[in-house]
Each structure stands twice: as structure tokens, then as C-alpha cells.
A and B are shown apart, each in its own frame.
Chain A
Amino acid sequence: MIEIKNLTKSFNNNLVWEDVTFRIDDGDTIAVIGRSGCGKSVLLKHINALLYPDSGEVLIDGENIHALDYVSQRKLRQKFGILFQGSALFDSINTFENVAFPLRYFTKLSESEISDKVMQALTYVNLEGAAKKETSELSGGMRKRVGLARAIILEPKYIMYDEPTSGLDPKTADEINELITAMAERLNITSIVITHDMHSVLQVADKVAFLDEKKLSWFGTLQEMKNSEHPRLVDFITASEYQIKSNQYT
């Protein structure tokens, strides 16, 4: 379980958000939504201590990650897999080696065991044929999927997705959303999805956190969001292209 308590962050006296408090239960998929620049990715980087808050705390299974020493913090980070916005693949090595990377350093698996695990992860994300490709040869959607395969290779308890569908065509975005749902169900992973894509939210989320006006403006289940009359939340949802073009939301 992840508990975010009274988290406040500012950069150079510019407040990002303050007093953010919510809880992510094991097995849940939470979507953190909000306008561009509202601090969604900043929140994600606080959850595994890539950034430090001005005040407040983040408890991962009861441990305050920001209060731990660096070695313990890094051990705790191994509970997480992250799919970064730009995938953050290592461009000096190929697809197979990118996925194998954490296994080579954090496990004592033999070469054949590593190969089996990597191919299994690539099969999960429907990329079994791309193992030998250089990362520069991959399309945006393929890069996201390789990033996802790398994120799940150490079988993390939590997985965080930073704008998983940004920059992708609707069909590929759908495939990524299906993968997120499949990962959560098949591997029983707790997921945190940072996005402003309402289509994605409706497909993957159990609960929704809405960051707005420099605070956590709204938090609830997906069904509660659909019924919410919170004016800024409704405004945000109805502004999405998805709402205009289809009636799935209503």
C-alpha cells in the first residue's frame, strides 16, 4: 500500500501543489489526472523518491521512503517499475539488452534463464520479434512496450506509468491501455497512471486523483468521477476530445 500524506512541493518558491493526501491500495490502478504542468510527473517522482518534498511523507508499505538512507531507499525502489514518458531506453544497447539490464545486475540468473525471462516479458508486450532491434529502430509505441517489458522484468509490486499514451496514435494508445490492464490483472500489480488522456483513464483506472489549482482537487472511484458534479473536474473531462467525439463517458 502507498500512502501519500500532506505532501507539499515547490521549485524556487513556485508552489507545485500542497497538502496532497491519498492512499493507493494493493491491486488498485490509480489514474492521476490534471492539466499539463500541474505537477503530475513531479508527484510520480516523489513516490519513489527521485524528488524530495518540502513537507509531508510517502509511505511505501509503511516505510517513509524519503526518510530512508540511500541504500535502503534503493532497495525499496526495486519494488517499483516505471514506464517513463519518453520510455528512457538506454540507447547504447539493443532491445533485448534493455530488458535484460536489471536482471544482469540484480540477479544471479544464468544467461539462458535471463534469455527466457526477457523473451517472456517481450511476449507479454507483443514484441517477441523485436529482441535484436536497436532502440533507434523502434517506433514510439514499440519503445513504450519495451519500456514496459523492462519495468516488469524484476516482477515489481508497483508500476508507475508516466503519460503512457502521449504521442501515440489512437490505435497504439489503445494497445498500451490494454497492456496496462492486462499487466494489472495478470501480474497482480498495483498501478499508478499519470495521464491527461481521459480515454486512457476510462479504460484502465479503478480510482482517480485530480490535481488542480495546486492541490489534490478531487479523489474517488471511476464511477464516482463519472457521477461527479465537481465543476473543474467536469470541465476537465468534458474538454477532452474523447468526450466530444463519443458518448462512452456518459
Chain B
Amino acid sequence: MYALKELGKYTTLLYQALRSSTEFGTYRKNLFHELVKVGYDSVPIIILVGIFTGSVMTLQSAYQLEFAFIPLSTIGAIVSESILIELAAVISGLVLAGKVGARVATELGTMRVSEQIDALESMGFNSVSFLVVPRVLAGILMFPVLYIVASVFGIGGGLAAGYFSGSVPPADFLKGARMFFYPWNVVFGFLKSFVFGFIITTVACYKGYYAKGGAEGVGRATTEATVMGCIYILLADFILAALLL
């Protein structure tokens, strides 16, 4: 019963956001602000995540395939395909559920409990259009960009780790990466990051927008936004893989 009630409130918020998107022009400068916060500010952590994910994948693949009689280029293929099809989107999504989701839920939750949202409404603002729509739009626009960043640095990190550890020469790594490259995998990764961006921002907006109970309530909203964001990302990842692969 509780889950149904929550789902109803979440859907209502999405409907209000969709309905009020016609007024979005009034508040469009909020979008640029959010694009910077969601996208630009997340680039350093995404680069770091990408590099380490690619590096670790290369080193572990080389370790596992050390005594197998298969060409070294296979490692390049495994690393690049895993990154493009799964890791760049999912690991970035999980990290951003913490970074972006927590920030959005905390911001809106604090605004709710300190009556700033009431103040907006009382002045005649459409608070959903003003607060929720720019954040969701920033999520679905910037997550695919961050997916590209994660992919580039993931593959680059894998290539560098192979070179510096001496386990995979760059030429073999790139040969494998090119040989098994399917454009659909990039499209699939894009689609996933788009969906994850939507999930993270809408869940965080929902939890923050309806936060109640002072500092404890904001803390609860932030935790729930992060945890639920992660769970829904894994669930969506499974559903998309089952449907589209």
C-alpha cells in the first residue's frame, strides 16, 4: 500500500513537471546553471572513475588470460566492449546517483523544510517548473555526455594500464578494440545513460521535493534518493539488456 502511494506521488510529480514544461521558458536560465552542476562539475569524478575502471579491467583480464592461448588483442576487445556496453554507463550512473542524486535531494529537501518552496509558490512561481524540470532536463542531457567522457577515459585508462604494466601492447589493445566494435553498443550505452539520468534526477527531485521533518527528514530524503537511485539503475540496466540485446 505504501509503495503504491509513493508511486502515485512520484507519477503525479512527473505529470506536473510534464504539464508545467510549457512554462519552462520563464525559468530557462536555471537550466544552464543545472547543466554546469550536473555535467561540468561531474567531469573530474567521471574521468577518475573511467580511468580506474579501464585500468583495473585490463590488468584483471590480462591476469585471467595469462596462460590461455588467445591473442592479446582479445583483452582490448573485452575491455573496450565492456566499457562501452556496460561499465561506462552503469558505474558512472552509480557514482552520479551519489553525487548528483544526493545534491539534488539535499537542495530540494532543505528548500522544502525551510519553507523556500512555499515561498516560491506564494510568490506565484510554479515550483515544479522552477526546481524539478531544469534538474531532470540537465540529467537527461548531461548523462549521455558524461557517458562519452567515461568511455573515452575508460578505454584510454585500459590502454595505458596495458602499456605501463607490459601486459598488452597498445597496438594489440587497439586492434582488439576496433575488431569487435559494434556501433549499436554505443547507441545502447547512450540510451542507458539517458535513462539513468532520468531515473537519478527524478527520484532525487521526488525525495527532496516531498521531504519533511527538518534536518533528519532531509538526511532521510538524501539517503533514500541515493539508495533508490542505485537500485533503480541496476533494475533498469537489467530491463534494458533483456529488451534490447
Contacts and interface: CB of A to CB of B under 8 A. Distances in A.
Interface in A72-115: 74-75, 77-78, 80, 82, 84-86, 88-91, 101-102, 105-106
A77 B116 contact: no
B135 to A, nearest CB: 14
Interface of B: 26-27, 110, 114-116, 118-119, 121-126
A56 B88 CA distance: 56
A50 interface: yes
16 contacts: A50-B121, A74-B121, A74-B126, A75-B124, A77-B123, A82-B122, A84-B115, A86-B115, A88-B114, A88-B115, A89-B116, A90-B116, A91-B116, A101-B123, A105-B27, A105-B125
A63 B56 CA distance: 66
B217 to A, nearest CB: 15
B125 A84 contact: no
Among B26, B110, B125, the one with the most A-chain Cβ atoms within 10 Å of its Cβ is B125
Contact of B118 (A74, A88, A90, A106): A88
- The prevalent SS among residues of B at the interface is helix
B33 to A, nearest CB: 9
A220 B114 CA distance: 33
A157 interface: no
Contacts of B125: 74, 105
Given A77-B123, A89-B116, A91-B110, 18 more contacts: A48-B122, A70-B126, A74-B124, A78-B124, A80-B122, A84-B119, A86-B114, A86-B115, A88-B116, A88-B118, A90-B116, A91-B114, A91-B116, A101-B123, A102-B123, A102-B124, A105-B27, A154-B123
A87 to B, nearest CB: 8
B30 to A, nearest CB: 10
- Interface range on chain A: under 10, 10 to 19, 20 to 34, or 35 or more? 20 to 34
A43 to B, nearest CB: 14
B114 A106 contact: no
A42 to B, nearest CB: 12
A117 interface: no
B124 A84 contact: no
A85 B115 CA distance: 9
A214 interface: no
B124 A77 contact: yes
Interface string A48-75: 1010000000000000000000100011
B4 to A, nearest CB: 17
Interface in A125-152: none
B172 to A, nearest CB: 51
A193 B33 CA distance: 37
Pairs A-B, 10 closest by C-beta atoms: A88-B119, A88-B115, A78-B124, A74-B124, A84-B115, A82-B122, A77-B124, A88-B116, A102-B123, A50-B118
